[in-house]
């Protein structure tokens, strides 16, 4: 499997990215009768923790507001960033992510403020940091 590279990825002035299948999150929202404002819901209730525990989304917390180069390494090779001569700035382990619609996206917190079908379609249309993956 290949290595994907995305340049100039911005986090919309918040120290946070979300990794996940937005269609699956929309389905999760409907199944659990959650409001369109998932940002408030996830930050004031335990529903956000449950969504993470169930593999609906993976939060990427503590990322300063800078343009980033993002790598998705699906190969068997050791990631360039993990080699001893490089300095990895952000790493989190212990998350499981479910893919239900054949694709994941890296997106930002503002999308959660009004998480509707129209917002998901816009996310899928305009976000460059996305890769196709088999469901599972």
Contact 28, 51 (CB under 8 A): yes
The residue count for the chain: 136
CB neighbourhood size of 90 (10 A): 12
Please give the share of the chain, as a percent, with pLDDT higher than 70: 78
pLDDT of the residue at 84? 75
> Would strands 3-9 and 68-73 be described as parallel, antiparallel, or unpaired?
antiparallel
Q: How far apart are the first and last CA of the chain?
A: 16
What pLDDT, on the 0 to 100 scale, is given for residue 120?
A: 94
**pLDDT value of position 15:** 65
DSSP string, 43-73: HHSTHHHHHHHTTSEEEEE---SS-EEEEEE
Tell me which of 54 and 106 has the higher pLDDT: 54
Which pLDDT score is estimated for 23?
95
Mean pLDDT in the chain?
83
Q: What is the pLDDT of residues 105-136, one digit of tens each?
A: 988 888 899 999 999 999 888 877 888 888 98
Q: State which H helix or E strand residue 19 sits in.
A: strand 16-20
Tokens of 69: 């180069």
Q: What is the pTM of this model?
A: 0.81
């Amino acid at each position: 499997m290949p290595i994907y590279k995305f340049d100039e990825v911005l986090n919309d002035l918040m120290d946070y990215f979300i990794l996940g299948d937005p269609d699956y999150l929309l389905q999760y929202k409907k199944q659990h009768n959650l409001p369109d404002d998932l940002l408030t819901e996830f930050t004031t209730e335990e529903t956000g923790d449950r969504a993470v525990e169930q593999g609906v989304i993976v939060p990427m917390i503590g990322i300063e507001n800078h343009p980033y180069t993002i790598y998705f390494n699906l190969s068997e090779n050791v990631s360039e960033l993990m080699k001893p001569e490089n300095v990895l700035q952000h790493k989190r382990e212990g998350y499981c992510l479910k893919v239900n619609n054949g694709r994941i996206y890296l997106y930002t917190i503002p999308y959660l403020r009004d998480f509707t079908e129209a917002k998901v379609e816009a996310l899928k249309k305009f976000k460059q940091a996305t890769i196709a993956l088999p469901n599972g």
